C-alpha cells in the first residue's frame, strides 16, 4: 500500500463524521429495543412462574353439610394417589376474602360459610388431576372442584401474548437497524465517491473499502447503543422498583433475573455485529453495481 493510498484511506475515515449522527439514532433504537426485550423477558419469566405455581393445584369447595366435614374430607384426600399436600383454608382467611363485600357481617359465626380445601398434586398432568377429581366426586358428590390452571388460563394467555409482542418488537428493531445502516452506508458511498475511485485506482479492493465503513458504523452503533442501553436499563430499574412496591400476586412475578440482565447488556454488541454485517453486504453490493 502506497503512502497516497493510506492518506486517502485516512481521509475517508476522518470525513466519516457526517455519518456519526447515526450514533444518536442507534441510541434511541437500542433504548426502545432494551425496553421491549426487558418486557419480554420479565413477562416470559412470569409465565413460567405462573405455570410452576398453578400446575397441579386444585381448590375444593364444600357447601352445606359437607362444609362441616372439611377435616374428614381433607384426611380422605391425603390418602388418594397423586396428592402431595392438602390444607383446609381457615375460616378467618375466608372472612377476609369476603370482607370487601360483606363487611363485618362475615364475622358472624352463624353466617353459613363454605369450606375450602387447597390440594397440591404430584404433577400438573391432566390425567393425575382427572383421577383426583373423580375420586372427590365419588366420596363427596356435592363438592365443587376448581383447577387453578384453568381459571387463570386467560391471564396466562395475556401475559404470554405480551412476551411474544415484545419479541416481535425486538425483531422489528433489528430489521430497522439493518435498514438504517444500509442507508447510512449508501450515503457514505455517495459522499465519498471521488475518494473511493482514487482508492480503487491505487489498488484497493472492494473488501478493503467496505472495511472502512464497517469499522466506522460498528463503532457508532456500539457507542450509541451502549448509551441507549444504559439509559433503558436505568429506566427498567426504576419501573422494577415501582412494580415491586405493588402488593399484587399478578405482578409480583414480573422481574428480571441475572441472566436476563446479562442478555440486555449484550444487546449493544449484538446490534453492532448486525450493523457491521449489514454495512459489509450493502457496501459490497453497491460497489459491485458501480463497476
Please tell me the distance from the alpha carbon of residue 92 to that of residue 106, in angstroms, as a whole number. Answer: 9
- Give how far Cα 153 sits from Cα of 40, 138, 147, 149, 158, Å: 19, 27, 10, 6, 9
Q: Identify whether residues 98 and 167 lie together within a single domain.
A: no
* Among candidate residues 117, 141, 165, the one where a domain is terminated: 141
Q: How confident is the model at residue 228 (pLDDT cuts 50, 70, 90)?
A: very high
Examine the domain organization and report whether 43 and 71 are in the same domain. no
Query: What residues pair up with 85 in beta bridges, in sequence order?
Result: 120
**167 and 269 belong to one structural domain:** yes
Average pLDDT, the chain: 77
Same domain assignment for residues 45 and 85: no
Average confidence (pLDDT) over 215-234: 89
Q: Is the pLDDT of residue 142 over 50?
A: yes
Number of folded domains that form the chain: 2
pTM (two decimals): 0.68
Do 175 and 204 lie in one domain? The reply is yes
Q: Helices 21-54 and 153-191 sit at what angle, rounded to 10 degrees?
A: 160
Could you give the 3-state DSSP secondary structure of residue 204? coil
Please name the residues in contact with 181: beta carbons below 8 A apart, sequence gap of 6 or more.
Answer: 22, 217, 221, 274, 275, 278, 279, 282
Contact between 50 and 156 (Cβ < 8 Å): yes
Q: Directed axis angle between helix 206-244 and helix 21-54, to 10°?
A: 50
> Using an 8 Å Cβ cutoff, are 268 and 30 in contact?
yes
- 258 in the same domain as 208: yes
* CA separation for the pair 135, 79 (Å, rounded): 11
* Domain final residue pick, 141, 162, 195: 141
Lowest model confidence (mean pLDDT) among 36-40, 220-224, 246-250, 256-260:
246-250
Where in the sequence is the domain holding 119, given as residue range(s)? 64-141
Amino acid at each position: 500500500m502506497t503512502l497516497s493510498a493510506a492518506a486517502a484511506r485516512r481521509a475517508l475515515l476522518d470525513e466519516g463524521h457526517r455519518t456519526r449522527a447515526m450514533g444518536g439514532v442507534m441510541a434511541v433504537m437500542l433504548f426502545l429495543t432494551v425496553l421491549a426485550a426487558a418486557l419480554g423477558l420479565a413477562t416470559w419469566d412470569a409465565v413460567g412462574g405462573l405455570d410452576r405455581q398453578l400446575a397441579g393445584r386444585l381448590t375444593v369447595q364444600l357447601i352445606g353439610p359437607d362444609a362441616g366435614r372439611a377435616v374428614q374430607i381433607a384426611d380422605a384426600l391425603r390418602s388418594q394417589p397423586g396428592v402431595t399436600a392438602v390444607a383446609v383454608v381457615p375460616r378467618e382467611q375466608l372472612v377476609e376474602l369476603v370482607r370487601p363485600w360483606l363487611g363485618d357481617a362475615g364475622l358472624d359465626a352463624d353466617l353459613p360459610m363454605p369450606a375450602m380445601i387447597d390440594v397440591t398434586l404430584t404433577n400438573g398432568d391432566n390425567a393425575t388431576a382427572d383421577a383426583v377429581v373423580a375420586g372427590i366426586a365419588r366420596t363427596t358428590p356435592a363438592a365443587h372442584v376448581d383447577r387453578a390452571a384453568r381459571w387463570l388460563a386467560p391471564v396466562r394467555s395475556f401475559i404470554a401474548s405480551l412476551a411474544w409482542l415484545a419479541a416481535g418488537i425486538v425483531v422489528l428493531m433489528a430489521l430497522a437497524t439493518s435498514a438504517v445502516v444500509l442507508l447510512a452506508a449508501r450515503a457514505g458511498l455517495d459522499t465519498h465517491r471521488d475518494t473511493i475511485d482514487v482508492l480503487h485506482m491505487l489498488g484497493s479492493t472492494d473488501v478493503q473499502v467496505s472495511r472502512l465503513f464497517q469499522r466506522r458504523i460498528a463503532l457508532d452503533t456500539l457507542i450509541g447503543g451502549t448509551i441507549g442501553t444504559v439509559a433503558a436499563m436505568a429506566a427498567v430499574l426504576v419501573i422494577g422498583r415501582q412494580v415491586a412496591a405493588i402488593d399484587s400476586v399478578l405482578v409480583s412475578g414480573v422481574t428480571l433475573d441475572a441472566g436476563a440482565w446479562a442478555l440486555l447488556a449484550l444487546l449493544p454488541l449484538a446490534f453492532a455485529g448486525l450493523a457491521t454485517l449489514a454495512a459489509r453486504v450493502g457496501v459490497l453490493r453497491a460497489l459491485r453495481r458501480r463497476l
